[in-house]
């Protein structure tokens, strides 16, 4: 995921994106602070869900290794 950065020319909030043609990293402006806050909130939620998913996979692997009762 991309991080929130400050544009060096206009000091606006921006996120890094990779240019499809050249592969260069560029800054793309975020239009308002609510969007930046929502992005940060979604990143936290995604990280929590990834951790939960890993724990569930480990638990499932543990249960698959045990004989049925």
Contacts 24+ apart (CB under 8 A), 37-46: 39/4, 39/15, 40/4, 43/1, 46/1
Residue 29 pairs with which residues in a beta bridge?
14
How long is the chain? 69
Query: Is this structure's pTM higher than 0.85?
Result: no
pLDDT given at position 1: 43
Give the residue ranges of the chain where pLDDT is below 70: 1-2, 67-69
CB-based contacts of 36, cutoff 8 Å, min separation 6: 4, 13, 30
pLDDT given at position 42: 93
pLDDT given at position 67: 63
What does DSSP say about strands 25-29 and 4-6: parallel, antiparallel, or unpaired?
Answer: unpaired
pLDDT given at position 45: 96
pLDDT given at position 58: 93
């Amino acid at each position: 995921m991309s991080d929130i950065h400050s544009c060096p020319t206009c000091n606006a909030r921006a996120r890094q994106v990779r240019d499809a043609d050249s592969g260069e990293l560029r800054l793309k402006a975020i239009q308002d602070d609510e969007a930046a806050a929502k992005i940060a909130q979604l990143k936290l939620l995604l990280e929590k869900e990834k951790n939960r998913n890993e724990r569930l996979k480990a638990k499932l692997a543990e249960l698959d290794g045990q004989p049925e009762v």
